[in-house]
Chain A
């Protein structure tokens, strides 16, 4: 075999990130290949980056053919981090059982429902990042690659912030829920079943719907309305708007239903119901304490209000008031149930302001006496105090006058009792006491359909 010189051939592959050499060793008296020979050849190809000197040296010392040696390798650009979602609010209701000072656990309070207010930050998309740059074998800088992006999805009741396209806020107030993987805000909190030790007490900024009943000792509070499909035992149900109870409301007098607007209930027994506007009973009321800002009406041909007290500013009506058993029953109309409290607050303000005025005046007189004794001079701090007290005193007469005007208006409003009435569509029984304003009448006989109004300052029964 003739003598053969050692040789090498190059192939640039992998999008210029690799130089693969094919090496043939010398044979016989042929010339060997040096590292410098290889480097010169690479230089002529303009390969500058990632040259593997050790490998070239080993290759050149090889006495057998090497068909595929990677002698230069670039730095590949890196992939950035993929986009992700960062939650900015607590989402799930967590059981936060609280122990009292004696170590007893309150199983009724299982922590608040996670709810959002309008505009609250809910979650944010953290955009993908760009990976590190790479360099090919020719020394060219290759930009890094972006991570995988994701689409920002908004659920019901949420909205993308107008100034930040990656931020999602609550569009409405309500409960934070995850439905099919998407965060949503629901203005209704549903309880599937009864309110009991499983559900715990409910407190929610929105409306509450309960499929079942409300057990004794539990409490439901909502800014909006509360709708209950079952009965309510000795529980507290407090709503900013309406309370609608498809069932009845019966207990031992330890519960309370309270509504910022109206209460609708099928029947009431031995319970307290307070409504800022109206109470509608689709049946009977037995031994209940009913208080309404406007009216109380027990609907139905046989509806009764028996025992307890029904108090409303405008009217109380039912088919029957009282019972054949002569159950003491008090009906009051013509006075706003909140009147006494409002009057008390106003009168207290007037009293406090007048007392403050007197105190200020005494202090001012004292300082003036001091000034007279000191030939018209006061130490600077006392002079400053005098100015301060006189300024404070000046504001009080206006305050007193405003509250006195409010008191007059309130008292004037109360005079308007001619519109107030009590109605029994079928009959009234003995021991029913009907108040209109401060006047009252007690029923001694079984009476037929009756309407009670104030006439010439007295409570008068009119035929219906």
Chain B
């Protein structure tokens, strides 16, 4: 699935760069970046993305709020979402799943793990 169009959301430019490099290394060169939840939501509305990868803790609109906004939007509600975060407590994972993410991956991770997760989510 090298044509997969992925939107990567993280408020830290350094972290975004690392994520983009890992995603490209995993075999998905077609990816774009957003700096927070609001930016991501606007870009999702403007473009036709196949997968959303989002951080949890962000200003303006955090990851969970973004997931909820996406799931409530008629046009975007079916997009697969992968939550990428350092929060690894079980209750966090449960909350994320409840809000509507399709997968959860804890930083740091390598390209191989990411690819396996993407394949799992995308079926």
Whether the pair B41, A361 counts as a contact (CB closer than 8 A) is no
Task: Give A365 to B35 CA distance when docked, in angstroms.
Answer: 13
Query: A: which residues have CB within 8 A of B?
Result: 361, 364-366, 368-369, 371-373, 390
Whether the pair B43, A365 counts as a contact (CB closer than 8 A) is yes
Specify the chain B residue showing the minimal Cβ separation from A390.
B46
Query: Nearest Cβ distance between residue B46 and chain A, in whole angstroms?
Result: 4
Please count the residue pairs between chain A and chain B whose beta carbons lie under 8 angstroms apart in the complex: 26
**Residues of chain A with a CB closer than 8 A to B39's CB:** 365, 369
Specify the chain B residue showing the minimal Cβ separation from A366.
B42
**Residues of chain A with a CB closer than 8 A to B38's CB:** 369, 372-373
Q: List 11 A-B contacts (CB under 8 A).
A: A364-B45, A365-B42, A368-B41, A368-B43, A368-B46, A369-B38, A369-B42, A371-B42, A372-B38, A372-B42, A373-B38
Contact of B47 with A by CB under 8 A: yes
Query: Nearest Cβ distance between residue A387 and chain B, in whole angstroms?
Result: 13
State which residues 18-67 of B face A: CB under 8 Å: 38-39, 41-43, 45-47
**Residues of chain B with a CB closer than 8 A to A372's CB:** 38, 41-42, 69
Task: Give A98 to B101 CA distance when docked, in angstroms.
Answer: 78
Query: Nearest Cβ distance between residue B3 and chain A, in whole angstroms?
Result: 13
Whether the pair A364, B46 counts as a contact (CB closer than 8 A) is yes
Specify the chain A residue showing the minimal Cβ separation from B73.
A376
Given contacts A365-B39, A372-B41, 18 further A-B contacts (CB under 8 A): A361-B47, A364-B45, A364-B46, A365-B42, A365-B43, A365-B45, A365-B46, A368-B41, A368-B42, A368-B43, A368-B45, A369-B38, A369-B39, A371-B45, A372-B42, A372-B69, A373-B38, A390-B46
**Residues of chain A with a CB closer than 8 A to B69's CB:** 372
Query: Nearest Cβ distance between residue A446 and chain B, in whole angstroms?
Result: 55
**Residues of chain B with a CB closer than 8 A to A373's CB:** 38
The contact size tier of chain B is under 10
Mark interface residues in B62-80 (1 if CB within 8 Å of A CB, else 0).
0000000100000000000
Task: Give A74 to B46 CA distance when docked, in angstroms.
Answer: 94
Specify the chain B residue showing the minimal Cβ separation from A361.
B46
**Residues of chain A with a CB closer than 8 A to B45's CB:** 364-365, 368, 371
Query: Nearest Cβ distance between residue B42 and chain A, in whole angstroms?
Result: 4
Task: Give A53 to B115 CA distance when docked, in angstroms.
Answer: 125
State which residues 102-116 of B face A: CB under 8 Å: none
Specify the chain B residue showing the minimal Cβ separation from A376.
B73
Residue of B39, B41, B42 with most partner-chain A CB within 10 A: B42
Residue of B38, B43, B45, B69 with most partner-chain A CB within 10 A: B45
Query: Nearest Cβ distance between residue B85 and chain A, in whole angstroms?
Result: 22
**Residues of chain B with a CB closer than 8 A to A369's CB:** 38-39, 42
**Residues of chain B with a CB closer than 8 A to A361's CB:** 46-47
Task: Give A371 to B43 CA distance when docked, in angstroms.
Answer: 12
**Residues of chain B with a CB closer than 8 A to A368's CB:** 41-43, 45-46
Query: Nearest Cβ distance between residue B75 and chain A, in whole angstroms?
Result: 11
**Residues of chain A with a CB closer than 8 A to B46's CB:** 361, 364-365, 368, 390
Query: Nearest Cβ distance between residue B73 and chain A, in whole angstroms?
Result: 9
**Residues of chain B with a CB closer than 8 A to A371's CB:** 42, 45
Query: Nearest Cβ distance between residue A377 and chain B, in whole angstroms?
Result: 14
Specify the chain A residue showing the minimal Cβ separation from B46.
A364
Task: Give A372 to B47 CA distance when docked, in angstroms.
Answer: 15
**Residues of chain A with a CB closer than 8 A to B47's CB:** 361
**Residues of chain A with a CB closer than 8 A to B43's CB:** 365, 368
Task: Give A368 to B38 CA distance when docked, in angstroms.
Answer: 9
Query: Nearest Cβ distance between residue B31 and chain A, in whole angstroms?
Result: 14
Query: Nearest Cβ distance between residue A230 and chain B, in whole angstroms?
Result: 64
Task: Give A390 to B38 CA distance when docked, in angstroms.
Answer: 19
Residue of A361, A364, A368 with most partner-chain B CB within 10 A: A368
Specify the chain A residue showing the minimal Cβ separation from B42.
A368
**Residues of chain A with a CB closer than 8 A to B42's CB:** 365-366, 368-369, 371-372
Task: Give A365 to B34 CA distance when docked, in angstroms.
Answer: 11
**Residues of chain B with a CB closer than 8 A to A364's CB:** 45-46
Task: Give A361 to B45 CA distance when docked, in angstroms.
Answer: 10
